[in-house]
Amino acid sequence: MSYPHKLPTTLLMLLLVAIAGISALWVPNGRSATPTETVLVTRIIDGDTIVVNGQTTIRLIGIDSPERDQDGYQEASEHLSQLISNSFVDIEYDTSSTDPYGRTLGYLFQENIFINEQMVSEGFAKATPIQPNTKHADRLHQAQQNAKQAQKGLWSNQ
C-alpha cells in the first residue's frame, strides 16, 4: 500500500534544501560566499593587524596602514580599534591564508561592513593588493580613489 501524502512532504523537503543552498550562495553588499570564521577581536596591533581570540594574529588583506614611525599610525590604529575592538568579526579568506611572517591573512566583516574597505575609504589605509590575494582589489582601489577625491585621512594634504 502506498502513502500518497508522503510524496508532497518529500518534495517540500527537497525544495527547502534547494532554497537553502541557493540562499547560502547569495550574500548582500558584494560579499562573496567564501567560507568565513567568526572570531573575537582581542587586540589591535595597528591599522591593518589585529589579534583574535587572544592568540591568532590577523593581517588585513589588500590594505596597508602607516607603521609605528609614520604619520597617521596613531589615527589608523585608533580608528580600527573604534570599529572592531572587543567585538566579533567574520574573517573571509582568499587564495593564500598566511603571509611570510606567519600571520593569518583575511578580509574582515562586521555585520554588513567590509572593514578593510572602510579603513581605505576613510583614508586610514592604502589599497595594496598582493598576489595571489586580490579577490576584493577592485573594491579597495575604488575606495582609495573616493578617499583621495574627498581628501580624507592620508590624502588630506594632497
For position 102, what pLDDT does the model report?
Answer: 84
Hey, which residues are catalytic here? 59, 67, 103
| DSSP structure class, residue 154 | G
157/7: higher pLDDT: 157
For position 118, what pLDDT does the model report?
Answer: 98
Written as nine digits, the cell of 155 is 590624502
For position 36, what pLDDT does the model report?
Answer: 81
pLDDT of 29-67, one tens digit each?
444 445 689 999 999 999 999 999 999 999 999 999 999
- Going by C-alpha positions, the residue among 133, 129, 113, 112 that lies closest to residue 121 is 113
**Cα angle 119, 124, 126; round to 5:** 80
142/6: higher pLDDT: 142
| Locus of grid cell 586610514 | 124
Handedness of CA 98, 103, 106, 111 (dihedral sign): positive
Q: Which amino acid is residue 24, in one-letter code?
A: A
Architecture of domain 36-155: Beta Barrel (2.40)
Q: Give the pLDDT mean for 96-114.
A: 92
Instruction: Collapse the DSSP code of 99 into the 3-class scheme (helix H, G, I; strand E, B; otherwise coil) and give the result.
Output: coil
